[in-house]
Amino acid sequence: MDIIIKTLLVCFILMNGYINNVNAQKQTQIKVMSYNLRFGELASLEELAEFIKKENPDIVALQEVDVKTYRERAQHQNGKNFISELAFRTGMLSLYGKTIPYMGGYYGIGILTKYPYISAKRILLPMPEGSKEQRAYLVSDIELPDGNIFTFVSTHLDYPTSEVRLAQVDSLNSDLLKHKNPIVLCGDFNAKPDSYEISVCMSEWKQVSNMNFTSPAKNAKSKIDYIFCYPHSKWQIISAETPVIQLSDHLPVIATLELLENQD
């Protein structure tokens, strides 16, 4: 009888250790989208929301997001609150960061998320000589259903010169690489993969979107839209795609990722 009890006890200990090991290695899957909307010039908000709902991402980084502007080039969007309406039509939560006042309203960046956020902050990027307009990034800590927390960032870098973008990437790195949580950074970087600002300055990040061209949407010749993760060891790519859809002058980028909880 003592032998049976001891055997059962050993089995229990081994099984408990196995369960704990499985739990320690469990993975959280997240579907991420980044999309420059071209201030809605080429599509209705209903069409944009329908596309987002169809792709069913967990979280979306948006660029060129208007709020109550009155543009001659997008009169069908005049006075509309893009971020609130997209959130309503997709059933997601929303965050918005103004970069500049424009045409009676605001122009900026946004986030849509299925999951609640713990914190959110808009941070302005530097404007060295040659900058066209103020740019920013919107950063938020997101709480997943299993209790894990990751930091999500939407940004849109300026386009006139590489020197301007270098200063902005340096600013992003100096802040974001200090964060304690795993990070997903998305946006329109206005820079090709072989540019110095991407190939060198973003080298500490894991580039998880595919290498398909994203701009212009009708005949894409350049990749300037990205999804990056940090640190490398925390993230695994499940899939990546660049849907070809003509709702903007950019194509969206999508990546399905696993957040590896047991990695440093």
Least confident stretch, 3-7, 131-135, 219-223? 3-7
Q: What does the mean pLDDT of the chain come to? A: 92
Give the pLDDT of residue 261. 79
Give the pLDDT of residue 264. 47
Model confidence pTM above 0.75: yes
Average pLDDT over residues 53-66: 98
- What distance in Å separates the CA atoms of residue 256 and residue 239, rounded to the nearest whole number? 5
Give the pLDDT of residue 191. 98
Q: Burial, 89: exposed, middle or buried (Cβ in 10 Å; 0-12, 13-18, 19+)?
A: middle
- What distance in Å separates the CA atoms of residue 216 and residue 219, rounded to the nearest whole number? 6
Query: How does pLDDT run across 125-146, given as a tens digit for each residue?
Result: 999 999 999 999 999 999 999 9
Ranges of beta strands (E only) in 181-234 are: 183-188, 206-207, 225-230
- Domain residue spans in the chain? 29-260
Percent of residues, the chain, with pLDDT higher than 70: 89
Structural contact between residues 234 and 260, judged by C-beta atoms closer than 8 angstroms:
yes
- What distance in Å separates the CA atoms of residue 152 and residue 141, rounded to the nearest whole number? 6
Give the pLDDT of residue 2. 55
- Classify domain 29-260 by CATH number: 3.60.10.10
